[in-house]
Amino acid sequence: MTKFPCFHYTHYDSFITILRRKELRSRYYLVNAGRHFNEISIDPEQEGRSELKLTNYIPLYVGYYRRYCRGEINDYLCHNYDDPVIYNGSFYGSLNKTLRTNLGDDYENIILLLIHNDRIRYHADNDLVRLFNNIAIKSDTIELICNSYDDFNDKVLECKADGERVYCELDILDNNQAIRIPDDIEAIIVDNERIKNKIISKISRFDVNLVQQLKFFICPLPREKQA
């Protein structure tokens, strides 16, 4: 069975809060719990996602943001995933076009989280996911029927363009413990060594054991010039 890597991105400031709480939650949960919402991967206004009834879901990209990348993360994906060649055009665009433009020098603080495949399988097999052929809030995006992990794999395979590229968004329902830290985080990808050290230093102040449970990879974020 094909195994696709799925990623969520966040900002350093949000990530430290996520690590303290040991959970990644939806906007719906955070607002209803009276907690401040500043998750960079979701528009805080939430108008588009509200219309789609997605505010209690956590968005993920299916596939990495480029086909191949240098270094250990490439080796890791090739070794642990059956189809590591797949890359997500929407993921790349969100990083290289939207966030790089909006954040400027702060762009290096974007953190990528590889979600453990067992968690994806659990949510898919329990009908707790929604799958889209592109970013959900785009006007021409189509929602794909996904009632199981097999459905998820089949639909993503059908979306592959040129044998390697997709634009899919997978949203998993925040059913109290949607993504647990560190259990459901397979790996953390950061832009440079300085960001990695900054995270480790911060975590060490409140949970030394957690540092040992997290796997880090350094892979520079895309910074290609726009045509």
Segment 13-61, tens digit of pLDDT: 889 888 888 889 887 777 777 666 566 666 556 678 889 999 889 999 9
What pLDDT is attached to residue 39? 65
What pLDDT is attached to residue 131? 98
Q: pTM for the full model?
A: 0.92
CB-CB neighbours of 61 under 10 Å: 27
Mean residue pLDDT across the chain: 88
Each as own residue / partner, the long-range contacts of residues 103-110 (CB below 8 Å, 24 or more positions apart, any chain) are 107/191, 107/221, 107/223, 108/191, 108/192, 108/195, 108/221, 109/11, 109/12, 109/13, 109/191, 109/195, 110/9, 110/10, 110/11, 110/12, 110/40, 110/191, 110/221
3-state SS track over 80-127:
HCCCCCCEEHHHHHHHHHHHHHHHHHHHHHEEEEEECHHHHHHHHHCC
What pLDDT is attached to residue 63? 93
What pLDDT is attached to residue 166? 93
What pLDDT is attached to residue 26? 86
